[in-house]
Chain A
Amino acid sequence: MATRGEFLERIRREVRRAPGLFPASAAERPPRPGEAAAAARRQMAERWPEALERFRQEFERVNGVFHRVAGLDEVAGVIRDIAREKGARELVAWAPGELGLDLRPSLEPQGFSIAVAPTDARDDARQRHREAAARAPIGVTGADFALAETGTLILISGAGRPRSTSLLPETHVAVFDRERLLETLEQVGVMLEALHADAERSMSGGVISFITGPSRTADIELTLTRGVHGPKEVHAIFVGTR
């Protein structure tokens, strides 16, 4: 088994022997990512209505179901309707601190059982939550970014915001507001550069997931089928006044 040194030395040798096919450089990175990210946020503070409309179009194009409510207090109602339509009584959700709201006070009295993600991640709590996520037909998360260009939800994992919430249940519901909207993949790049340049935030979660619609395959005779391993339905609830 090669050591790191041997392996890299071999490559270094080959690189030195090779003149390269043509002069080329990597993509130009923002020199001050934090500032670039702030500038993008300022830009989006103006452009969010257009971005939202574009998001809705693209999200629906990939078979997402879009909802809009004026305030956080209306979110539980939309979720209740989705759950009723599916005949579901069990839900899993991100921890209230991560989600931005606690669904339990409004939904539990109506007969729904909601397992929120633990933030301390002791083994027994983790195991219980994992089992709940595997059982629940509906998972509720927030979103770190909502990319208009492609109708994509971007979720960073972490304490209180498990991956399984948006992965195991058949229906995934993501709740977000205007501050999450971005227009282009390029802006996503700026945000991710900024995230990683910030020492504290850069370590936050083990995975960043881009989710563009429900899971799908066309592996059998190229016929499109939805709901393979991941969710069969994805709902986005935008919270905000016009």
Chain B
Amino acid sequence: MTASSRFGERAAVALQDAHLQEALTIATTKFIGLRKDSFAGFPQGEGLRDQARAIKEATLQKLDHYLEQLADNVERLGGHVHWATTGDEARETILRLCRDRGVKMAVKSKSMATEEIELNEALERAGVTPIETDLGEYIIQLAHEKPSHIIAPAIHKTMGQVADLFSRELKERFAADPEVLTAAARKELRQKFLQADMGITGANFAVADTGTVVLVTNEGNGRMVTSLPRIHVAVMGIEKVIPSMTDLMVFLAILARSATGQKLSVYTTLVRGPRRSAEVDGPEEFHLILLDNGRSRQIAGALREALYCLRCGACLNVCPVYRQIGGHAYGETYPGPIGILLTAMLKGDRAVKDLAHASSLCGACQEVCPVGIDIPRMLIELRHRLDRERIAPLGERLMFGIFGRVLASPALFRLGAALGRLAQRPLVRDGRLRSLPLLFGRWTRSRDLPPLASRPFSKRWKDLA
């Protein structure tokens, strides 16, 4: 197997972090319960999940058609559409807009797509101040950290840590009380909403038939960011398009339930281009940036199903690995089970050399996924490609090659077992193996191992016949 990898190190560090462990347990357990209760009281839920999955698949089968329809309708409503093949192009488009329109400050509503293209760093370098307004994102922005969960970015921070952070950055003493801290964020960010030149969001969905971009939020910052500044920019992965308003209702019926157990999030905002001329509020300009960044390659690829993802985070909450190590240990924009697939999609197989194995393949993710993405199957496929593309370490490939030969031959299998029984003799204590060398030491460091039985079943059969 591989020598200690950076992922392995990060995971080990996470396991030692008692605060993180406690935060993860509380948060994931809570999310699991909320989701379960929500679907328990919702018998139509299973049928809607099947329907949602079918809509995603049907959309992919005509993705070019729906994107074209979406663009036509956005333009008909007075919006502008930009076609970004790469993250670079998306960033460049936004920076150019900022330059041309004299944008000094941009308020942002939570968007994983903008994290993916590392927009904030680019804005800062260009002299534009990006302000995250989602409370969790605001917290991690102040802390100069990355989000650790797809929908609850600051899940890894305790209340005390947040209070200290606010006190330090906002230069005022705040108690470790969520009401106090939320009120502080509300007051601080209210000014930013009113002063910002540009609002930047992602998009949960975009309805092709009507040119509507849909944002699902709870705090109100999504509404603020799309109503108050004079320019609204939405960055959207191409896989978010759906055919019609009727389809939208199917997704709305299950998205919030999957994410937080709510029937609907507090705010579902259907953006229909810039404001109409007689409106008081609303941006003068609306820009939709359609982002490819490796997604289209998966339409005919092994990770096609990952394009169904609604970014609800349910798979993170049930993943035994995520629950132990948290999001940062993955070291990528998107953590958790779906994160491994998205990382491979965006950055290629080599980027998941270690992450592809950060799973016990238990299948809990697929079970809760509202669109039924078969994550374990794709993880196995990724592992297969790592072998085929020779990205997996040579030592490991050789070892599995030998292992494969032994398992395919009854004679070698018996011989291997016999050699093992011989080799283990000096190491057996009280009927167990407590300390083994090499690879096996990775097991015995923390667990006992039963010894190979002196008479395997195949030898005992004749006594039973």
Contacts and interface: CB of A to CB of B under 8 A. Distances in A.
A and B: direct contact (Cβ < 8 Å)? yes
Interface residues of B, number: 108
Contact of A229 (B27, B57, B186, B264): B186
B267 A210 contact: yes
A222 B278 contact: no
Interface residues of A, number: 85
Contacts of A159: 276, 278-279
Interface stretch (B249-257, B446-454, B455-463): B249-257
B246 interface: yes
A220 B159 contact: yes
Interface in A101-136: 117-121, 125-126, 129-130, 134
A221 B135 contact: no
A71 interface: no
The 7 closest A-B pairs by CB, nearest first: A230-B220, A159-B278, A219-B136, A229-B220, A189-B249, A18-B300, A210-B268
Interface in B87-139: 89, 92-93, 133-136, 139
Nearest to B275: A206
A205 B61 contact: no
Scoring A7, A217, A220 by chain B CB atoms within 10 A of each residue's CB, the highest score goes to A220
Nearest to A194: B245
Contact of B267 (A14, A25, A150, A215): A215
A221 B247 contact: no
Interface in A214-230: 214-223, 225, 227-230
Contacts of A17: 299-300
Interface of A: 1-4, 6-12, 14-15, 17-18, 20-22, 24-30, 58, 62, 117-121, 125-126, 129-130, 134, 149-152, 157-160, 162-164, 167, 185-186, 188-190, 192-193, 196, 202-223, 225, 227-231
A222 B31 CA distance: 9
B145 interface: no
Contact of A29 (B30, B139, B244): B244
Nearest to B252: A185
A150 B38 CA distance: 12
29 contacts: A7-B292, A10-B85, A11-B63, A11-B238, A14-B63, A21-B304, A24-B54, A26-B246, A26-B247, A118-B280, A125-B280, A149-B263, A150-B263, A163-B281, A167-B224, A189-B248, A206-B272, A211-B267, A215-B218, A216-B218, A219-B152, A219-B153, A221-B157, A222-B27, A222-B30, A222-B31, A229-B133, A230-B223, A230-B267
B220 A215 contact: yes
A217 B135 contact: yes
Given A1-B83, A29-B244, A206-B272, A10 B296 contact: yes
B35 to A, nearest CB: 13
Contacts of A149: 263
B161 to A, nearest CB: 10
A225 B162 CA distance: 15
A20 B60 contact: yes
Nearest to A208: B270
B134 A221 contact: no
A206 B220 contact: no
A196 B245 contact: yes
A11 B244 contact: no
A15 B269 contact: no
B246 A193 contact: yes
B286 to A, nearest CB: 8
B444 interface: no
B266 A230 contact: yes
A34 to B, nearest CB: 14
Given A1-B84, A7-B85, A24-B57, A167 B276 contact: no
B392 interface: no
Contacts of B300: 14-15, 17-18
A167 B152 CA distance: 23
Contacts of B189: 229
Given A18-B299, A158-B276, A190-B246, 17 more contacts: A11-B238, A25-B54, A26-B59, A29-B244, A159-B276, A206-B272, A209-B223, A209-B269, A210-B269, A211-B266, A216-B218, A216-B219, A220-B154, A221-B23, A222-B26, A227-B182, A229-B186
B271 A152 contact: no
Given A162-B281, A202-B210, A27 B247 contact: yes
A188 B249 contact: yes
A199 B194 CA distance: 33
A223 B159 contact: yes
Contacts of B64: 8-9, 11-12, 15
A115 to B, nearest CB: 11
Contacts of A121: 277-280
A205 to B, nearest CB: 6
A162 B220 contact: no
Contact of B296 (A14, A25, A30, A222): A14
Contacts of B186: 227-229
Contacts of A192: 210, 245, 248
A209 B216 CA distance: 10
A137 to B, nearest CB: 13
Nearest to A131: B194
A26 B244 contact: yes
A208 B269 CA distance: 6
B220 A219 contact: no
Given A15-B64, A164-B280, A217 B219 contact: yes
B155 interface: yes
B190 interface: yes
A94 to B, nearest CB: 10
Nearest to B218: A216
Contacts of B152: 218-219, 222
Interface string B148-186: 000011110111001000000000000000110111011
B209 interface: yes
A206 B273 contact: yes
B68 interface: yes
A217 B182 contact: yes
A76 B400 CA distance: 78
A224 B304 CA distance: 36
A142 B217 CA distance: 22
Nearest to B280: A162
Nearest to B179: A225
